[in-house]
Structure 1
């Protein structure tokens, strides 16, 4: 059998990723309140023939912040320029980016809280007055040259809005707080994506994927694609018929259990319970125990475990709850610490 050209393969995957993203607020599933607020903001800007106000999108990863930024640009009829906070580590980086914007362009900065402090301070003036000051020279002979910018709309995305300095947060005209999705909304996401991937999913199969998606559309789409791959390999080369048993088999193969816990989630809970009698234990100690970075545990694993009530953060450290013991099938011994004792 002829091998598929890697470049064609990459283009196909990119095309699928792009196709799964909704292109308008009407197509965007979930976040009903945020959608209504954004629609009003965009309609008002269109009627007044001005760029939309600066927008801050805050919330956990995978809920659609990048997609909403693309929709803002599309529905405004404006071009979109994309960058990220970690890529802007000097004021000069931001100055080069801002000075190249065309009138009305939408600038999307992902993880905006991770920009360098000097770039943040330059952004204050740019957002408010559409100008920046360029310093020329050093020491007593240094001079400031003002540079006017084309009016633009900044869309910032952050997973940790508490790390944004107040002067920067206050310059956004609208802040949207994205929430985790309910299972019914995730079923709609899976239904739409399955139709675009030409996969026929009955409602029980959609519900099974939704339950394991941790309230996150990005994870739902990723699991759906893994189910598709499983069917292609084990289903005589067709991905057109999927039932809940196939979904179970596919996701079990990838170590995703019935409520969405993966290998790392279970390793954290298992280490917390078996090695430290349920806690409390410090984050760094727990990270060393499971062989993972502390930042990964804190930003990827803990939010979901805390949200579903399997872990609690206390002043003395992380603690496993009785629900975590039950889920892992570990007896909740008398020696385990009780949250009420902390």
Structure 2
């Protein structure tokens, strides 16, 4: 049976230390999401003053905005131990029972991608979150017996990129739900400035602003691009200036809007092969050689958000901004044929 506790281990101890250093350790260090930070600060302070475990917390939002980091901060600010798991790893009620029964009083349990848990585990979680107990079935058939098992009080922090897939009974049991938003350029510059200091990378504000404008409003992408610029400057010995940023991001296929290879492949397919659309999702996915789920969940949200693509009942359609960005001229539709009347029928 797969271990329900998932620990993502990078290749080396140095990599572990580096990734850990990039993550803020407290709400004061955390950049952006000011409203969520204020709400969490109040929730944690109130729990500390009453000497109780904080309410269960649901963190919802796109990938890379800091949900895992905030879960670590909740444990750190509460001075509680942290246990980490993930929804896909909990595929049976027994997996969840093993995790819950081993928690110590006050422990913070973080479940990433909580919407992907098995339904039987979700139903067990209802009672655990509300009454801190679970019922374990022993035996089968008419002789089956339910044995109640009391749990130590704990705080569940769930993270999801698709909150709409959570059943209402589970969503309602969270005492606080935080919706994380994409970062603006100014906030991303602060994220990059902090990361550059940790990397001991000498880079000016102009170069940081250029990177911030290409990272799709996501700190995880910002840190990744900064590391690629660091690598380029190290190998080429050119320094991390604006020229190095342009060269490095061009080498890694990231354009001035933050589009990568797959983004451009999707847009160029819509523009050139289908004259700007409309084109159906499955046809578009086959045309670029990707799964339809990848196009719909990974590529389309960003293209729609920046105004290059729209969704219509008939399919995906490129906008005027898309034609302009790719330097193409919209196809001219042929004039409608005149209606035939009288003897022309």
TM class, shorter-length: over 0.9
Give the secondary-structure state (helix, strand or coil) at the position aligned to 2:28: coil
The structure number with the bigger radius of gyration is 2
Partner residue, 1:14: 16
CA contact (8 A) 2:91 2:117 kept: yes
Partner residue, 2:320: 322
Give the secondary-structure state (helix, strand or coil) at the position aligned to 1:82: strand
Distance 2:293 2:103 in 1: 34
- What's the RMSD between the two structures over aligned residues? 1.4
Q: Of 203, 207, 232, which aligns to 1:230?
A: 232
Shift of 1:329: 1.2
CA contact (8 A) 2:188 2:222 kept: yes
List 4+ stretches of structure 1 deviating above 3 A.
Answer: none
Partner residue, 1:179: 181
- TM-score scaled by length of structure 1: 0.93
Partner residue, 2:341: none
Partner residue, 1:30: 32
CA contact (8 A) 2:276 2:330 kept: no
Partner residue, 1:87: 89
CA contact (8 A) 1:109 1:156 kept: yes
1:272 equivalent to 2:270? Answer: yes
Partner residue, 1:287: 285
Partner residue, 1:333: 331
Gap change, CA 1:8 and 1:318, over 3 Å in 2: closer
Gaps of 5+ in 2: 1-8, 335-345
Q: Deviations over 1:234-254 (max 9, x none)?
A: 007xxxx42111100000000
Distance 1:8 1:186 in 2: 25
Give the secondary-structure state (helix, strand or coil) at the position aligned to 2:258: coil
CA contact (8 A) 2:67 2:159 kept: yes
Partner residue, 2:129: 127
Partner residue, 1:312: 310
Q: How many residue pairs get matched?
A: 326
Partner residue, 2:195: 193
Give the secondary-structure state (helix, strand or coil) at the position aligned to 1:156: strand
Q: Deviations over 1:35-69 (max 9, x none)?
A: 00000000000000001000000000000000000
Distance 2:44 2:64 in 1: 23
Distance 2:321 2:67 in 1: 32
CA contact (8 A) 1:214 1:260 kept: yes
Gaps of 5+ in 1: 1-6, 337-342
Give the secondary-structure state (helix, strand or coil) at the position aligned to 1:302: helix
Give the secondary-structure state (helix, strand or coil) at the position aligned to 1:301: helix
Partner residue, 2:50: 48
Distance 1:150 1:44 in 2: 20
CA contact (8 A) 2:232 2:248 kept: yes
Distance 2:17 2:157 in 1: 24
Shift of 1:23: 0.3
Q: Of 154, 170, 190, which aligns to 2:172?
A: 170
Distance 1:100 1:44 in 2: 26
Gap change, CA 1:97 and 1:308, over 3 Å in 2: same
